[in-house]
């Protein structure tokens, strides 16, 4: 059984609203990606060769880390909200329109980690 939850963490390395993902899956099949508003198999997430980012390097990057907690059976995603706050600020500077709110981005990430069964 899989479940996603937003968990409060007392650990100072986590944000006020830490993110935990519980999964009973292991990564055995194809990974998934969030593409054009939905979670799809990674092999279906294709971009056009004329994409601006490909030709001109337009992009904003943010690395997000999650650690598996064997005792709790969860992936604890480190400061997810803060990562997306920085990403959204960078997108605003480059005038890149992101059609998702901060909360939606966090929810999508938790769902994707859960679906991919990361441990």
> Residue 20: its pLDDT value, please?
53
Which residue has tokens 């981005």?
105
* Torsion, Cα of 49, 65, 33, 50 (10° steps): -10
State the CATH number of the domain containing residue 46: 3.30.470.10
Question: Quick one: what percent of the chain has pLDDT higher than 90?
Answer: 57
Counted domains in the chain: 1
Contact 75, 69 (CB under 8 A): yes
* pLDDT higher than 70, residue 62: yes
The torsion angles phi and psi of 39, rounded to 5 degrees, stand at -85, 125
| pLDDT band, residue 28 (cuts 50/70/90) | low
**H or E element, residue 102:** helix 102-116
- Write out the residue range of the structural domain in which residue 85 sits: 3-116
pTM of the predicted protein model: 0.72
Q: What is the mean pLDDT of residues 43-64?
A: 89
């Amino acid at each position: 059984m899989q479940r996603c939850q937003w968990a409060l963490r007392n650990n100072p390395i986590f944000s006020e609203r830490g993110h935990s993902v519980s999964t009973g899956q292991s990564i055995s099949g194809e990974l998934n990606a969030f593409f054009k508003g939905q979670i799809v198999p990674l092999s279906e997430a294709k971009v056009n060769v004329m994409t601006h980012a490909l030709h001109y390097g337009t992009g904003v990057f943010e690395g997000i880390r999650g650690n598996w907690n064997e005792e709790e059976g969860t992936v604890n995603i480190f400061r997810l909200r803060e990562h997306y706050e920085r990403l959204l600020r960078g997108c605003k500077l480059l005038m890149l329109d992101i059609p998702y709110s901060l909360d939606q981005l966090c929810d999508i990430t938790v769902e994707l980690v859960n679906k991919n069964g990361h441990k």
